[in-house]
Amino acid sequence: MADRSMKRYRNFSGRIGLRSGDMQLSCSGCFSAMVGLYRSLLFLGLVSIALPVVAAGPLRINTGFTPPVSGLLEQIMIEAFKRVDVEMSFYELPAERSLKLVVSGVDDGDCCRIPRAIRRDYPGLIRVPESVYVARFSAFAKRPVPEVLSWNDLKPYNVATVTGWKIIVNNLRRVSPATTHVVDHPQSMFEMLQRDRIDIASFGYLSGLWRLKQQGLDREIEVIDPPLAAEPLYLYLHPKHEGLAPRLATVLRKMKREGLIEQLTMQVLEKLPLIQ
């Protein structure tokens, strides 16, 4: 029976072992192998922590702006990311959704936002410390247009804007007009104005003029001058791309010195005869 207990067998690794006396030797070898594997895994873990996170594909940069401003911002971003040698894809999304996708880390950046409109609700986002574009935010009304020179002048009116346009939404909350409507799409907002369901629509200056032209409402509705606000816009990145922010700021400054951003802006304006 003792000799039978020493019968050879083939273990899971294909090695030849013994059931009795050799068991201790076999276990000792297994222990040494496990220690070696643990050390290897620990080393790989430390290396992975030390290395920077590399995107699986092009960075996804969103904008909540609509044409023609979205097209201008896309051209600026294409050139800026090209100069820092980073692949980028640009997407036009509803403004609020764009921010939430970047905050969650699903997407990589939002172009572009006003710092004080973002700081309170999204403090974790990384601002590229150089402005991309100066946007104007305006009131629109049916002719004859009322006199509106500031946000406070909106108080007696029924006013609408679009979800995610933080500077407008925040100022309407502060002023508290007669009624405030925050809708999902600019098309719906201007239809409400055309049907006299509201008195004033508030939106981006260029985007509003573009939308009116597209909807065939530019003969009924006009922009009120001067704009309610003119604010510099900044690119915001998810924290995993914090190291990219100073590099992008440097190339944006250089693009301004070269006159490239002004040139791209003029190309957009030339396509909008209604603005000239």
Model confidence over 76-106: pLDDT tens digits? 999 999 999 999 999 999 999 999 999 999 9
Of the candidates 234, 247, 198, the one whose C-alpha atom is nearest the C-alpha of residue 85 is 247
Average pLDDT, the chain: 84
pLDDT digits (tens, 9 = 90+) for 232-255: 999 999 999 999 999 999 999 999
Of the candidates 255, 140, 122, the one whose C-alpha atom is nearest the C-alpha of residue 186 is 140
pLDDT at 135: 93
Q: At 3, phi and psi to the nearest 5? A: -65, -35
Q: Taking residues 197-205, what's their average pLDDT?
A: 97
From CA 100, how far away is CA 145, in angstroms rounded? 36
**Element (H or E) spanning 181, and its range?**
strand 179-183
- CA distances (Å), origin 250, targets 167, 207, 246, 268: 27, 28, 6, 24
Q: Taking residues 144-153, what's their average pLDDT?
A: 96
From CA 72, how far away is CA 115, in angstroms rounded? 20
Q: Taking residues 154-183, what's their average pLDDT?
A: 96
User: Does residue 16 register a pLDDT over 50?
Assistant: no
Asked, as a colleague might, if the bond just before 226 is cis with ω within 30 of 0, I would say yes
Model confidence at 39, in pLDDT bands (50, 70, 90)? low
Return the half-sphere exposure (C-beta side, CA atoms, 13 A cut-off) of residue 125: 31
pLDDT at 21: 43
Model confidence at 51, in pLDDT bands (50, 70, 90)? very low
CB contact burial 143-170 (16+ within 10 A = b; e otherwise): eeeeebeebebbeebbbbbbebbbbbbb
- CA distances (Å), origin 213, targets 260, 266, 274: 27, 19, 8
Model confidence at 218, in pLDDT bands (50, 70, 90)? very high
CB contact burial 184-196 (16+ within 10 A = b; e otherwise): eebeebbbbbbee
Return the half-sphere exposure (C-beta side, CA atoms, 13 A cut-off) of residue 23: 6
pLDDT at 32: 52
Beta bridge partners of 111: 235
Residue 173 CB neighbour total at 10 angstroms: 11
Model confidence at 56, in pLDDT bands (50, 70, 90)? low
Identify whether the C-beta of residue 98 lies closer than 8 Å to the C-beta of residue 64: yes
